[in-house]
Structure formats: structure tokens, C-alpha cells
Amino acid sequence: MGYAEVSVNSPIAQRRTFSYTIPPSLSIDVGQAVWVPFGDKLLQGIVVELSDYPSVAETREIAGVIDPRPLLSPARVGLARWISEHYLSPLFEAVALMLPPGFERKVLTFISGPSSPPEYDLASLNQEQRHVLELIQQGKIGLKELEKVLGKKKAQTVVSQLVGRGLAVRSYELGPIKVRPKEELYLSLSVKSSEAQQEAARLRGKKAVKQAALLDFLTQQTEPVSWVEVRHKVNCDKAVADALFSKGLVTVQYVGVKRDPLADYCMPLSYPLSLTVAQRSALETIKSSLQGDISLSAFLLHGVTGSGKTEIYLQALAEVVKQGRRGIVLVPEIALTPQTIERFASRFPRKVAILHSKLSLGEQYDEWHRIRDGEFDVVIGSRSAIFAPQPDLGLIVLDEEHEWTYKQSDRPRYHARDVAIKLAELTGAVVILGSATPDVETFYHAQGGDYQLLQLPERVTPSEGASLPQVEVVDLRDELKAGNRSLFSRSLSQAMAKSIACGGQVILFLNRRGAATFIQCRRCGFVLRCKRCEVALTYHFAGDVLLCHRCNYRTAVPRVCPRCLSPRIKFLGIGTQRLEQEVSRTFPQTRWLRWDSDVTKYKGSHQEILGKFRAHEADILIGTQMIAKGLDLPQVTLVGVVSADTGLNLPDFRAGERTFQLLCQVAGRAGRGRLGGQVIIQTYAPEHYAIQAAAKYDYDAFYNKEINYRRQLRNPPFSRLACLTYSQTNDAVCQREAERMKRLITQEIDSRGIADLSLIGPAPAFIHRLRGRFRWQLILRGSEPSALLSELPIPQGWAVDIDPVGLV
């Protein structure tokens, strides 16, 4: 007899699997979705392993098969197990990442009579039992219906009694699927057009102008018209159509439509470009890995924006397709990369699938099934597209691999880069990590030989003004000295005026995150830092104190600047609002737009704002980090970074890296057209290595400094981190629990004698209060923090983040 280890969809299951007997009637495979009894319930599960022996003495039987085809390939089952172990997440949560959208459904219980009922005495049954027996003699009935008749409790008792006596049996079915094929409303006339015209005239007489207009419109049509089109052309709302429908003048029908997220794109076919020397050499190396000639299968493709990385992805994919295999391409944020998607779609016409979380559930459902059936050569998507059921995987591309959006902030808190590397290992696929500013850890691994480094040192087309723009770093300390109290340095305001006068456009970049949290000397730019952790201290209005969010060090705000003795020490960062005011004061004649997450909450608003800016309906675009992403705006001749210091002073050891990456990206937005361009970075810390290196696009200079700091302070990649956050409505309780956990972990470290694990904190989290709950944090640092944590009891209320990307 065979046994199956099953990952069960229950919060109790955690990281465990459970053993079940495979009944002879069922054929079961790894990756298959099954029903299993669990306590007194029947739950969904995924088979993760088959074995000849159970892991416990007594096992129950698998109750049934949900889907005859396995939903997960064996490699993906392996991936789920790795995610669960590595990120300490419940196994089913890891499995669920790879299940078809809408998979998790309720189980419905049905009651019916047994095929051969035993002898029984009717008199021994009470009235309700007899009532139920009568009902089920007519056929099976849902428990829900019985509950409506008898009440919930009573129904369940009676059913249990009847089942116990062998007079009824339970069976289970899936609840209704939440996803349905999408349908669209179509309208047509249900009367002759002559009649409709008469009716329209009558309606006009009664001042029902809209109804008349709609009738007229339909009279002119030869075929049913979709409601979307009608609404657009006649400019009426649904009530107007309803009124005509109820008068019997209009017919309404639903027509199924296939959801195709690429429908809006109009794509001419594109052909492979003939490669530059650097591109060819990179591609040849990747190809030899794809052909199995070299054993190394992970690459870091390092090249500035415009150096031709995407063209390499495209040609590497073409090679994979030629071999009869397929690829997955991850991009940081799909809504911001329509141009990239178009390039893939035009190279592989009708062979590209798009997956991302902003698709409707129905769209995701359709795409999942089509991908599994092998309809696409390439799947493109954000983070979670790494879990697409793409068969015969040959290549995984992570574009902009340094982006933090690749890390999921909710459970399971996986990093798509690490998942991609693991999946490639399990499937034999090749991975390309691409970036202009690689993550310091990735670059370190590439130097160490874990990945092969491929470099594209130059832009492909340095002609046509596409070379990298000039960067000027402005020292804000000189501005105050010269009596300039504006947010714009003299340099920046002159450049803005000039750009606009010459018909160019300006982007003003403000990293709002972290603004108004640190204080800075307005005269010399000095920022107070924690002596132990090196991170900027955060200012708290309540209590007027400075606090280290890593180790909980507190200190009073000094009256004068410790460096230059100026009393103007309490200068807080700037917000977008302040910036908007300043723009309208300094440039009253100009038109400007703002683009940040506050104004782009609804679907499509990105495109709208961007469309307006591209159409030159505004001269200035004010934005946060979102504008740094890969947009091609040829009319932008000036990018101004209003304050480079806000990012620099976030209480996180990655602040320098983050600032460098952002500045490089932002600078890349300027001078993409024939007009050329200029970048101005304003800062109080012009000598900072991250700013210096960004101004020269010098990744090596940045990396060499940064990796030394990391080594000195034993930060990743020289250690791994686990961030433990406890949240609770009461701040004091929260702190006490954090301290208790610290004692527990310290004891554990001591008793096991693990020398290389250290604990930092507890301290209030940078965002101390979130949705009414206070948060305290502990950071565990060492070579394998998750090994220790996996064996500790971690109570409810704690969130564990392994390899966190941001500590704020």
C-alpha cells in the first residue's frame, strides 16, 4: 500500500506535512490536489511526496482527487518546500503561491441515503430524524439546506446521528468557483428601425433626450454594439438603457469575451538586432551555458541603461525557444514598464503571457491555464510571475535585479531573486540577473564566482544625444551662506528657467520617504547618528527626542550643531507639498504635474499622468521614487534632485546603496532625446561616497567603499539577517514581549554556544505605529539565523522576515 505526504490547507499544519494512505481506487502523483480528512473537516491538500511507509503509525485515507492533473511539477513542489524552510513560512502558503488563481475554495457537505440501508425501526427515530430521512430519500441534499430547515446545530446533530446508525452518508464537493469567464453586455434594437425612429421622436417630445439619442444610435447600427462603446459614443448611463429595455425597445445580451491583457497593445513584428562586440560576447557566454557547454548557469549582466541588456534577454530567449524550451521574465513593476513589454511582445508575437497582481482574478485564471498548457514562449510579470506554471523552463530573466519590489513584504516573505536561483537549480534553467546598479550582495556573489559577471560598459547608441547626461552636485551649505532660503539652489532655479524657456521639460525628484524624520543642521548639513549602529537618529516630536530605531539608543536634541555650533539644527526634511508651493511661487507661469503613490491609486492613472506629461501638457513633473523607473521621456532636458539626503539618512544600513541606485536611475531619465540633458543633485553631503559615485556613474567606486563598510559592520553579505517584528495595540505590552523574546533567543544562543549569532534591539520599529498597532523589532544577525529560529516557539503576533531588504 502506498502513502502520501500531504501539505494541508490549515493554519494548524504550519511547516509540516501529514501522512495519508492512498486508497487502491485512486491514482495519486506528486503535485496533485487532493481532499483529505483533517480533524473533523475535509480540507484541500497538495501531495508533496509519495512513500512506501507512513511517517506516523496511524494514517487516514485520502478522500478524493480535486484535479486529475497534478497542479505543481515536482520541481515546484521542491521549490515550495525550500521557501517554507528558508523563509519559515507555513508550507501550504508556499504551495499556494503556485496554485491556479481561485483554487482555494470552500468544501460543501452533502447528505444522501446509503446504497444498501440497514434494517431499522422507524419508531426508534425522533421526528427530526425521520424528516431528514424523508428528504434524503428523494436524493442528496446539501447540509446548508438542512441547516436552513432545522437550524445549524440541530441539523448537524441529526446528520451525525443518522450517519452513526448507517442511515445516511456524507459526501463532499467543491464550492462554486469564484472565477467565471468574463462577459460583456451588448445592445441592439428589438423593434424595426422605423418604429424605433417614431419612438425616438415621441421620447424627444417628452424631454427624454438621452433615451432618444440612444435609440437613434442603435438605429444606425447593423450589429449589436457593446455597452462600453455605447456609453462612450452616446454618453449616457445605464439607467437610460434599462428604461428602453423595460419598454421592450432594446434587447440586451451577454457575450463571452476572452480576457487578453495585451489587447491594448498594437505591435509590429520586430527582428533581432545585429549585436555590438560587448553584447555578442555576453550572449555567446549565455548561449554556451544554455547548450550545456559550461556548468555555470547564473549570470549577472551589468550594464548602464541603454547598454543593450534587453536585446540580450530577447536573443537568449530566442535561443531557448529554438531548443523547444521556454522562459520567464521578471520586471520590478509591470505597470511602469509598458515599453519593455511591447518589446517582448513584438519579438515573440502572440507567444507572450502577462501576469501580475493588477490583473482581474479572471484574467489571472485564464493566463494560468494557458501557460500550463504551454501556449506561451515567454511569461512576463512582476515578482509572483516566478511561480507561473511555465513548462520546460530554460531561462529566467530578472531585469533590474536590485529592485526592492522583488521582495514580498507579506507572508511568505520571499525574495524573487533567491527563488529564481533555486527554481533554476531545480529545473536546470539558466538565470540572467540584469542591472545598471547591481545589488551589492549580488555583485559580491558575482565576484566570488557564484554568478558569472558579464559587463556591457557603454551605451549602444552614444550618438543622437543618448550619452549619459552631465551631473552637477550642488552643495546646499553654500546656498544659505549666500542668503538663499529657497528649496531651489541658484543653479537649479536657473537651469529650470532655461530648460523651460528652450521648450524642454523638467523632472523634480523628491525622495519623500524619510523626509521629516531626521533633523539636520541647516547651516552645515550635519546629521546626528547612532554611535553604535551608524544609522541616522530619528526625531520624535512627542518627547522631543532622537531615537535609534535599531538599538533603542535615545538622546536629547542638542541646542546647537555639534559640528558648526549653529543654532539652526532642527531642520526637518521637505515634503511634496512644500515643494509644490515652492514651484508655484518660483515659476508661477509654468504648468506642473505630481506623480506619486497618492495620486496613482486607481488603475491606469500612471499612464494618464505620463501621457499628459509626454504630450507636453506640463513643463514640470514632481515625483517620488516612482518616476525613477524605466521611463523614456525624450523631451526631459533637466532632472533636479531636490534633496539627496532624505534617502541617505534613513535608519538602514542600505541607505547609501539605495541612494546610489536611485540617483543613477533618476539621472538616467534626463537627456534621452536629441536635446541632451542635465542633472542637478542638491545635497548637504556632497562628499558622500554614494553621491560622488552616482554623479560619475561609477559603480566600482561605490561598490568598493560600500563593501568595506559592510565588512566592518558585519552587515550582509558578511552575515544574514532575520528581522522579528512584534505588533500589539498596547505599546508597553509590545515592548515587554520583545524583551521576553530577546531573553529567550539569547538563552538559546548561549546554551547552544553559537558564537556568530548576535541580537540587536529590541527597539521600536521605524514605523512605530501601523494601523492602530505598535511595533517593536529585534534583529538577529549571523551566518544562519533561520536555523535557530526554526526551532523556537514563535507566538502569534510576531512576524519573521528572513533576509529583509529594508529595515525601515
Q: Given the rule CB under 6 A, which residues bind ligand ADP?
A: 273-276, 279, 303, 305-311, 460-461
In the complex, the smallest distance separating the C-beta of residue 802 from ligand ADP, rounded to whole angstroms, is 31
Count of alpha carbons within 13 angstroms of residue 747, beta-carbon side:
7
In the complex, the smallest distance separating the C-beta of residue 459 from ligand ADP, rounded to whole angstroms, is 7
In the complex, the smallest distance separating the C-beta of residue 483 from Zn ion, rounded to whole angstroms, is 17
561 contact choice in Zn ion, ligand ADP, none (CB below 5 to 8 Å, kind-dependent) = Zn ion
Residue with Cβ nearer ligand ADP (35 or 348): 348
Tell me how far apart the alpha carbons of residues 764 and 39 are, in angstroms, rounded to a whole number. 40
Let me know: does 506 contact 680? Beta carbons within 8 Å: no
In the complex, the smallest distance separating the C-beta of residue 800 from Zn ion, rounded to whole angstroms, is 21
275 contact choice in Zn ion, ligand ADP, none (CB below 5 to 8 Å, kind-dependent) = ligand ADP
413 contact choice in Zn ion, ligand ADP, none (CB below 5 to 8 Å, kind-dependent) = none
In 3-state terms the chain splits into helix, strand, coil percentages (rounded to 5) of 35, 25, 40
Residue with Cβ nearer ligand ADP (443 or 774): 443
Residues sharing a CB contact under 8 Å with residue 685, sequence separation 6 or more, in sequence order: 525, 644, 645, 648, 691
Residue with Cβ nearer Zn ion (258 or 531): 531
Residue with Cβ nearer ligand ADP (34 or 283): 283
532 contact choice in Zn ion, ligand ADP, none (CB below 5 to 8 Å, kind-dependent) = Zn ion
Q: What are residue 695's phi and psi, to 5 degrees? A: -65, -25
In the complex, the smallest distance separating the C-beta of residue 525 from ligand ADP, rounded to whole angstroms, is 34
Residue with Cβ nearer ligand ADP (271 or 602): 271
In the complex, the smallest distance separating the C-beta of residue 317 from ligand ADP, rounded to whole angstroms, is 13
Let me know: does 209 contact 263? Beta carbons within 8 Å: no
524 contact choice in ligand ADP, Zn ion, none (CB below 5 to 8 Å, kind-dependent) = Zn ion
Residue with Cβ nearer Zn ion (228 or 560): 560
Helix-then-strand count for the chain, H and E: 25, 34
Which chain residues interact with Zn ion by CB under 5 A?
A: 521, 523-524, 526, 530, 532-533, 548, 550-551, 553, 561, 563-564, 566
Residue with Cβ nearer ligand ADP (182 or 343): 343
In the complex, the smallest distance separating the C-beta of residue 465 from ligand ADP, rounded to whole angstroms, is 13
521 contact choice in Zn ion, ligand ADP, none (CB below 5 to 8 Å, kind-dependent) = Zn ion
Q: How many CB atoms lie within 10 A of CB 113?
A: 17
| SS3 at position 35 | strand
Q: In the block, which residue shows the cell 512644500?
A: 578
461 contact choice in ligand ADP, Zn ion, none (CB below 5 to 8 Å, kind-dependent) = ligand ADP
Tell me how far apart the alpha carbons of residues 378 and 352 are, in angstroms, rounded to a whole number. 5
Tell me how far apart the alpha carbons of residues 791 and 783 are, in angstroms, rounded to a whole number. 16
499 contact choice in Zn ion, ligand ADP, none (CB below 5 to 8 Å, kind-dependent) = none
Let me know: does 493 contact 485? Beta carbons within 8 Å: no
Tell me how far apart the alpha carbons of residues 755 and 767 are, in angstroms, rounded to a whole number. 31
In the complex, the smallest distance separating the C-beta of residue 282 from ligand ADP, rounded to whole angstroms, is 11
Let me know: does 442 contact 454? Beta carbons within 8 Å: no
548 contact choice in ligand ADP, Zn ion, none (CB below 5 to 8 Å, kind-dependent) = Zn ion
In the complex, the smallest distance separating the C-beta of residue 81 from ligand ADP, rounded to whole angstroms, is 35
775 contact choice in ligand ADP, Zn ion, none (CB below 5 to 8 Å, kind-dependent) = none
In the complex, the smallest distance separating the C-beta of residue 280 from Zn ion, rounded to whole angstroms, is 50
Q: In the block, which residue shows the cell 565588512?
A: 711
Q: In the block, which residue shows the cell 521557501?
A: 83
Question: What DSSP character marks residue 415?
Answer: B
List the one residue out of 390, 386, 377 whose CA is nearest residue 314: 377
Residue with Cβ nearer ligand ADP (98 or 398): 398
Let me know: does 23 contact 16? Beta carbons within 8 Å: no
Cis geometry, peptide bond prior to residue 717 (ω within 30 degrees of 0):
yes
Q: How many CB atoms lie within 10 A of CB 288?
A: 12
Cis geometry, peptide bond prior to residue 457 (ω within 30 degrees of 0):
no
In the complex, the smallest distance separating the C-beta of residue 336 from ligand ADP, rounded to whole angstroms, is 14
Residue with Cβ nearer Zn ion (315 or 643): 643
Q: Which residues pair with 185 in a beta bridge?
A: 254
Considering just the CA atoms, what is the radius of gyration of the chain in Å?
A: 32
Residue with Cβ nearer ligand ADP (312 or 759): 312
616 contact choice in ligand ADP, Zn ion, none (CB below 5 to 8 Å, kind-dependent) = none
Residue with Cβ nearer ligand ADP (307 or 538): 307
